Amino acid sequence: MSRLLLLSGLMLLGAGCAGSHSLSRTGGPAYPLGQPAGEPLLLQGSYVTGPASSLVLGDNSLRGRFRDRPVSLRWNWQEITGSVDARGTRLEIAEGDDTRVWGSFGGLPVDLTVDKEWLHGVVGGCGYVLRRAEDGFVGQRTCGGPLEEALHVAFPAPLMERPLGERASLMTLMLVNFTSTYSPTVSLARFARPRNASVDGNTVQVR
């Protein structure tokens, strides 16, 4: 009788642990990512989902589909490698007074700098100068056409606490999610830039 009770207790404990593990992956707050103009993405637990996207975050990886395109990325403390839409991805990452992400993401050039107040740089043919807000970033963008003002990109503050490789991957995905149309050239000369930002070798200040 005592053995039967012990076995029953262990089975219930195992079921409870399995349920807790499942909740840890799918439960908790859901964070919007990017902008609905691209695809409305939500990050909840280990999953990034949208109408045509289903991605899973591992300890050092991001795999699945983004806009029905295959994604397979892995990272360590200094780089992100893999493929997006069967195109090679290699991003170098570095963190100090600010965070730097540069290289190629699915064939798109990436060069981003993020500090306590600003996110600025290039993804694809689009240039960004964004100021941090509580639920993401707000600022300007140009993709070779008219300058877009008061642009809002969802990237809630808790996501800034994620590990560097994960944070850099999600941040790049956030900007790629805006649009599938990119201009081959972009100039940041039209922007009001963060103080002491360096563009084309010149140091500029906020207007």
**Whole-number pLDDT of residue 101:** 97
The structural domains of the chain, with segments of one domain joined by +, span 28-204
**Whole-number pLDDT of residue 34:** 84
**Whole-number pLDDT of residue 4:** 43
Give me 107's structure tokens. Answer: 């064939």
Contacts of 18 (CB under 8 A, 6+ apart): none
Instruction: State the residue for tokens 């290289």.
Output: 103
Q: Which amino acid is at 16?
A: G
Q: pTM to 2 decimals? A: 0.75
Q: 51-56: long-range contacts at Cβ-Cβ below 8 A with a sequence spacing of 24 or more?
A: none
**Whole-number pLDDT of residue 62:** 97
Tell me the per-residue pLDDT of 68-80, one tens digit each, with 9 for 90 and over.
889 999 999 999 9
Tell me the per-residue pLDDT of 9-36, one tens digit each, with 9 for 90 and over.
433 333 333 333 333 345 678 999 887 6
pLDDT by 10-residue block (mean), the chain, 207 residues: 40 36 55 80 92 93 93 96 93 95 93 95 92 92 87 90 94 78 46 46 38
**Whole-number pLDDT of residue 203:** 41
Are 63 and 71 in contact by the 8 Å Cβ rule? The answer is yes
**Whole-number pLDDT of residue 179:** 55
